[in-house]
Amino acid sequence: MANLTTKLALILFTSSFLFSCSDKENIERAVYIWKAKQSFEQHDAKFITSNKISKIYIRFFDTSTDGKGNSKPKSELKLKGETPTNVEIIPTIFIENNVFLQLKKKDLNKLPKQILSKIFYIFKQRFPKHKLQEIQFDCDWTLATRVNYFSFLKQFKQKNPEVEISATIRLHQIKYQQKTGVPPVDKGVLMYYNMGDIKEIDEPNSILNNEIGQLYISDKTRYPVELSLALPVYSWGIWFKNSKFKSLIYDINEQNIHELSFLTPIKNNNYQVNKDTVFAEKYLRNGDVLRVEIPKMKALEEAKKICKNLKSNKKPQIIIFSYDNKNSNYFSSEKLEKIYSNY
Amino acid sequence: MWIFNPLSVSSPEVSDFFYTTQLFGDKLFAVPDENIQAWYEYFDRKVNKAHIANYIYKLPLKDLKAIQRDIKTGESPILNSLALHLAVTKNQTFADYFVFAKEVEILLNPKSDDYWINVPLDIPEIKKLIPVAIKKAKKSKSNFLKIRYAYQAIVLLRYAGNYKKLIKYYNKQFLKLNNKKPNILNFWALAYVAYAQIELGKKEEGQKNLLKLFCNSNAKKRWADLLIDKKYFENNYNSLSAKSKFYWTIFKAYHNSGKALIGLKKTANYDANHPDFQVLLGREINKLEDWLLTREHFGETAIILNKKKKQVSENYNSDFEYLGKFIKFVKIIAEKQNVKNSFRTYALLAHLYLLQKEPKMALKYLRKAKQMPSYQPDLEPQIRYTRILANTLAAKQFDAKFEQKIGLDILWLEKQNQDNTRLFSNLMLVLHKAYDRKKMYAKAAMFLCNDLCGNRNRYNRWQDFSSPHFYLDKYASTVEVLNFINLAFSENKSALESFLFKNFKETKDRYYDLAGTIELRKDNLKKALSLFEKVNLHYWKSKKSYQTYLKNNPFIFQTESPQARKYDNTKPELFISKAFFTKKLIEFKAQYKQEKYAKRKSELAYLLATAYYNMSYSGTNWHYLAYGKASSGGELLHTGHNSFINKNYSTCSKSIQYFEQAYKLATDINQKAEFLFTLASVQNTANNFPNLKTKQPNTFAKSLRADNDAYSFYLEVCPGLKYF
């Protein structure tokens, strides 16, 4: 009897241990690279490899219109350097919503082929040693463009049945999915960032605000497409002068905020400029206010909890937005471990 | 906000680096093409510049080949003055060059009509042309063409990816071709050299060349700026040559959006005559204007004066102090600089004294700038702007003599087509404010007219007034409005007045309407009527907003009391005329005054109360007293400033007075209850006026609740009464 109990306990212990290990290990780690012009150097490759990142979503180009009813690509990727071959490269295409408003039907029908040939061209040029397995589209579609956008996605898939198609999904498209529709894709990415009103002086954090997130996602929220979760790792300062929005300041992060002696904390994440200073080429005046928005680990953990019911059962994935040479130094392996786990 | 035109001291290519933006579609800011200028100078300014540009940039290859082919005939198949010039002079070598350059251009910019098709470069073809270009550079007898062929070789080498050969060719061949005259192609070629050096990992050389380009080539400034590695120069500053250090101080000064005096002093120590130094001086003025003038003209003055926000005052004081230091510096520079530059610096100094509110010193240095032997007429517009403002500051009175003085300069600027520029718009704004501060609203409105009526999209610069009418509505008295009418519609305008009103297309009626309305707000009914009677009858009906919002009889309350109807059955459409309404109001008031019989007096009081209520913010005919503004949905909204109109407009005070009289004088119990109920409703509605600071206690509601019979009666009719 004692032997049986011990055996049972051992089995239970082992399976819970294995279960918790696999729970950690199963989360697919990915990053977005969003800048059109970037160089990929040795330390970037090291960052990718040492943090076990298996997928890189790279913005290949944007799709816009030329003002005469024709679609056109812009901000084409200019990436120097080589990406590691053991990481999957996923072309991401941003499409402006007005493309689906302005283009005529015959031009809309041509669009999937046009975009596809451009993707192939760039992929072959820049990533000759990689295999194209997935393509992602980013478009903040509306009720007016839903039909055209979804039709585009369908046609695109038909031309490439073996390549997975994914699409970005925003919070309002989750909450109002009955109205906005669900795009006909193999999977989606929930963009859990850029939630608040940047220009509003009382906004606590326009990048990541879980109070707002919870207005869109509850315990009962479900989505018919498998979703990955995109979390923000960028930060910025929002400059106010006499309570009026002036500009964004990008060179502020968790590393340097405490070293900036010209800032005096006032409340929450607001700081007052205490002396005239030129910072990031902006002339900040005595009395100006800077709201510094840095997604905190606690808030990121909370975000994962809020979105847990939307997590893919097959292959949960977390994508950080976004990776570039500047912020790679600010992400310790320890922090990344936390971001990519417990989901 | 700025009144100093940076172009006075620099060229438009550096417009990206001006502190203030120039988003106004100003023609002045169109960047001139230095390549076209070089060709223009080469042909001794005898060939039309626009035709040169057309020949080089627009004519297709087949046309250039046709010109090349027919050169010997002495005629040109294409109607273009450069083509004709080449034909007449039988200039085969130049025609050949243009064909070659066009072929290179096409090869390096392969295009498809389809945006989506990437056309790759034909590298083998590019490589084939390199020795051709080099040979032509060697063989050409014209030095002008030699350098151009050599430049084409460099461009081809870059696109072929042959960076080592590019650098070698530049150092060994290209530099030898430079004659003593400065040549734009030196820097165009150097840009490719810098690029090649960076591609080959020669960071130090590449970065130094980029810095050199930044400080010596306006055409390449923006491009170099994007590639310069600031950290590299910061970390290696001590190892830089003196020249590179100088360039670095210029670069840093360009990127300093704050007080840059320390950097400017360093730059001046190296070379106070460098063209970029002049630009930086001008830029510093624009910053000072932004700090001082924007504050003054866009709302922070009250904050400064009332010291409501300590930091704003501190900043203003520190900026003013900085201005003083900067003036001292510029004065020394002006004396040190060579004559070629110093006249511009004196003009800068004049403007600085203006900012310091020292008009006499400003005028003194303007005169000095003009007297300098190297004075150039391109500075004249700025001189005029500064002089107008200096004279405005110095004037004790804004009388006819003053207007004549500034009028001469304003009209001169108009003749130079300055009046569609942002700078001119800023000038109008400053002059408007100057008159406004002296409470000369009619004259202030003239300057507003000139800018706003010329372009309605500028209304956001004018506190959202879309017409001088709204400005006068907010600030002017009846007298000032009548002054404006006399000015705007006079047959004997001065030259300045004619210019300022040239885009003004409104009618007198609108302004007599305004004058009458100002009097109506003060309850000066007879005066109001006399002004309304100057308005043409068709005017009232022609206004859409009046058709919509003055279609109700103002003597009838919303509940359509039978009492009101008993004494006034006038057709509602007649009330579209403010004159008609005012006349009726005068009549009822006179009757009320004379009436001795309490019941009738009560009924007349009720009529008057209703009229005053309907004239208030809460009433149906608020448009008698206020001017609305259309929202994006087309509905007329009360404008934000309407709270200044009168006490009755916001609080229904007069209306309540008359309703109280109606209540007190009423003899019938039911009628009394009705009047009490109306009083309670009106007081409730009045308390909902937006931004009302003090709400009046609703004593009428209290009385109504205390009167059980009346209350029960009304509760049946109006269950919402319990919420009073």
pLDDT digits (tens, 9 = 90+) for B2-25: 667 666 656 665 555 655 544 344
Determine, yes or no, domain membership for B477: yes
Q: CB atoms < 10 A from the CB of B82, how many?
A: 28
Q: Is the pLDDT of residue B723 over 50?
A: yes
Interchain CB contact of A241 with B (< 8 Å): no
Pair A88, A130: CB distance under 8 Å: yes
Question: Which of B118, B256, B311 minimises the CB distance to A286?
Answer: B311
Characterize A288-305 residue by residue with b for buried, 16 or more Cβ atoms within 10 angstroms of its Cβ, and e for exposed: bbbbbbbbeeebbbbbbe
Give alpha helix (H) positions in B522-567.
525-532, 537-542, 544-549, 562-567
Question: Residues with Cβ < 8 Å from B176, sequence gap 6 or more?
Answer: none
The token pair at A54 is 């298996």
pLDDT value at residue B14: 59
Q: Is the pLDDT of residue A18 over 60?
A: no
Interchain CB contact of B319 with A (< 8 Å): no
Closest Cα in chain B to A62: B116
Q: CB atoms < 10 A from the CB of B657, how many?
A: 15
Pair B450, B503: CB distance under 8 Å: yes
Determine, yes or no, domain membership for B211: no
Q: Is the pLDDT of residue A271 over 90?
A: yes
A–B: how many Cβ contacts below 8 A?
Answer: 46
d(CA A157, CA B143): 60
Report the phi/psi class of residue B143: left, alpha or beta, with left for phi > 0 and alpha for psi in -120 to 50. Answer: alpha
Please state the separation of Cα B635 from the chain's center in Å: 28
User: What stretch of H or E contains B637?
Assistant: strand B636-637
pLDDT value at residue B305: 47
- Lowest average pLDDT, out of A44-58, A123-137, B120-134, B542-556, goes to B542-556
- For residues B567 and B660, membership in a common domain is answered with yes
Determine, yes or no, domain membership for B50: no
The letter for the amino acid at B432 is H
pLDDT value at residue A25: 55
Q: CB atoms < 10 A from the CB of A147, how many?
A: 12
Biggest CA–CA distance in chain A, Å, is 83
d(CA B548, CA B543): 9
Give me the residue spans of the domains in chain A.
25-234+295-339, 236-293
* pLDDT tens for each residue of A85-94: 899 999 999 9
Determine, yes or no, domain membership for B63: no
- For residues B657 and B700, membership in a common domain is answered with yes
- For residues B414 and B301, membership in a common domain is answered with no
- For residues B377 and B496, membership in a common domain is answered with no
Q: Is the pLDDT of residue B187 over 80?
A: yes
Q: What's the sign of the alpha-carbon dihedral B379, B380, B383, B389? A: negative
The letter for the amino acid at B327 is I
Q: What number is the average pLDDT over the span B707-714?
A: 71
Burial class (CB in 10 A: 0-12, 13-18, 19+), B305: exposed
pLDDT value at residue B531: 98
- CB contact residues (below 8 A), chain B span 252-311, against chain A: 255-259, 287, 300, 303, 309-311
d(CA B222, CA B251): 12
Pair A138, A57: CB distance under 8 Å: no
The three-state DSSP-derived secondary structure of chain A is: CHHHHHHHHHHHHHHHHHHHHHHHHCCEEEEEECCCEEECCHHHHHHHHHCCCCEEEEEEEEEEECCCCCEEEECCCEEECCCCCCCEEEEEEEECCCHHHHCCHHHHHHHHHHHHHHHHHHHHHHCCCCCCCEEEEECCCCCCCHHHHHHHHHHHHHHCCCCEEEEEECHHHHHCHHHHCCCCCCEEEEECCCCCCCCCCCCCCCCCCHHHHHHHCCCCCCCCCCEEEEEECCCEEEEEECCEEEEEECCCCCCCHHHCCCEEEEECCEEEECCCEEECCEEECCCCEEEEECCCHHHHHHHHHHHHHHECCCCCEEEEECCCHHHHCCCCHHHHHHHCCCC
pLDDT value at residue B22: 44
The residue with greater pLDDT, B27 or B526, is B526
Q: State percent of chain B over pLDDT 70.
A: 86
pTM of the model: 0.81
Residues of chain A found within 8 Å of residue B161, distances taken between Cβ atoms: none
pLDDT value at residue B179: 62
> Terminus-to-terminus CA distance in chain A, angstroms?
39
d(CA B315, CA A288): 11
Pair B145, B94: CB distance under 8 Å: yes
The token pair at A114 is 């046009």
Question: Which of A71, A73, A276 minimises the CB distance to B258?
Answer: A276
Q: What number is the average pLDDT over the span B44-50?
A: 94
Highest-confidence segment of A3-17, B10-24, B386-400: B386-400
The residue with greater pLDDT, A270 or A332, is A270
Q: Please state, rounded to an integer, the average pLDDT across all residues of chain B.
A: 86
pLDDT value at residue B28: 45
Contact A72 B116 (CB under 8 A): yes
pLDDT value at residue B87: 93
Which among B175, B177, B178, B210 has a CA at the least distance from the CA of B192? B210
Q: Which of B342, B363, B394 is the last residue of a domain?
A: B394
Cross-strand pairs, A320 = A31, A231
* pLDDT tens for each residue of B211-224: 999 999 888 888 99
Q: What does chain B come to in residues?
A: 724
Q: What band does B634 get if pLDDT is binned at 50, 70 and 90?
A: very low
Interchain CB contact of A117 with B (< 8 Å): yes
Question: Residues with Cβ < 8 Å from A141, sequence gap 6 or more?
Answer: A97, A100, A149, A150, A173, A180, A183
* Third-level CATH fold of A25-234+295-339: TIM Barrel (3.20.20)
Question: Residues with Cβ < 8 Å from B38, sequence gap 6 or more?
Answer: B183, B184
The letter for the amino acid at B56 is I
Strand order in the sheet with A244-249: A244-249, A236-241, A289-293, A270-273, A263-267
Question: Residues with Cβ < 8 Å from B682, sequence gap 6 or more?
Answer: B613, B618, B652, B655, B656, B659
- For residues B570 and B680, membership in a common domain is answered with yes
d(CA A138, CA A159): 19
- For residues B480 and B422, membership in a common domain is answered with yes
Interchain CB contact of B164 with A (< 8 Å): no
- For residues B650 and B700, membership in a common domain is answered with yes
Find tokens 């030129």 and name the residue: A278
pLDDT value at residue B302: 47
Distance from CA of B315 to the nearest CA of A (A): 7
- Lowest average pLDDT, out of A7-21, B28-42, B561-575, goes to A7-21
- Lowest average pLDDT, out of A6-10, B350-354, B645-649, goes to A6-10
Q: State percent of chain B over pLDDT 90.
A: 55
User: What stretch of H or E contains B479?
Assistant: helix B478-488
Contact A278 B311 (CB under 8 A): no
The residue with greater pLDDT, B635 or A131, is A131
Residues of chain B found within 8 Å of residue A242, distances taken between Cβ atoms: 300, 303, 309, 312
Q: What band does A253 get if pLDDT is binned at 50, 70 and 90?
A: confident
Question: Residues with Cβ < 8 Å from B714, sequence gap 6 or more?
Answer: B673, B677, B704, B721
pLDDT value at residue B198: 95
The token pair at B398 is 């804004």
For residue B296, the SS3 value is: helix
Question: Residues with Cβ < 8 Å from B159, sequence gap 6 or more?
Answer: B108, B121, B123, B126
Pair A168, A137: CB distance under 8 Å: yes
Q: Which of B370, B394, B418 is the last residue of a domain?
A: B394
Number of domains present in the structure of chain B: 3
Question: Which of B117, B258, B309 minimises the CB distance to A283?
Answer: B258
What's the DSSP call for residue B678? Answer: H
Residues of chain A found within 8 Å of residue B258, distances taken between Cβ atoms: 276-278, 283
What's the DSSP call for residue B238? Answer: G
Determine, yes or no, domain membership for B621: yes
d(CA B617, CA B181): 75
B363 phi, psi to nearest 5 deg: -65, -35
* pLDDT tens for each residue of A112-160: 999 999 999 999 999 999 999 999 999 999 999 999 999 999 999 999 8
Q: Strands, DSSP E only, in B350-427?
A: none
Q: Which of B394, B411, B443 is the last residue of a domain?
A: B394
Find tokens 């509850």 and name the residue: A218
Distance from CA of B166 to the nearest CA of A (A): 22
* pLDDT tens for each residue of B161-177: 999 999 999 999 999 88
- For residues B544 and B432, membership in a common domain is answered with no
Q: Is the pLDDT of residue B428 over 80?
A: yes
Determine, yes or no, domain membership for B26: no
Pair B470, B441: CB distance under 8 Å: no
- Lowest average pLDDT, out of A167-176, A241-250, B516-525, goes to A241-250
- Lowest average pLDDT, out of A84-98, A148-162, B186-200, B409-423, goes to B409-423
Q: What band does B719 get if pLDDT is binned at 50, 70 and 90?
A: low
Q: Give the residue from B298, B311, B314 with the most A CB atoms within 10 Å of its CB, the best one to mutate.
A: B311
The token pair at B219 is 């055409």
pLDDT value at residue B118: 87
pLDDT value at residue B418: 79
Question: Which of A117, A276, A277 minimises the CB distance to B116?
Answer: A117
Question: Which of A114, A118, A287 minimises the CB distance to B315?
Answer: A287
Please state the separation of Cα B162 from the chain's center in Å: 49
- For residues B698 and B582, membership in a common domain is answered with yes
d(CA A260, CA A235): 15
Which among B82, B187, B100 has a CA at the least distance from the CA of B152? B100
- For residues B627 and B670, membership in a common domain is answered with yes
Q: Which domain holds residue B351?
A: 1-18+257-394
pLDDT value at residue B123: 96
- ipTM of the complex in this document: 0.82
> Terminus-to-terminus CA distance in chain B, angstroms?
51
Determine, yes or no, domain membership for B345: yes
Residues of chain B found within 8 Å of residue A276, distances taken between Cβ atoms: 258-259, 315, 318
- For residues B625 and B598, membership in a common domain is answered with yes
- For residues B351 and B369, membership in a common domain is answered with yes
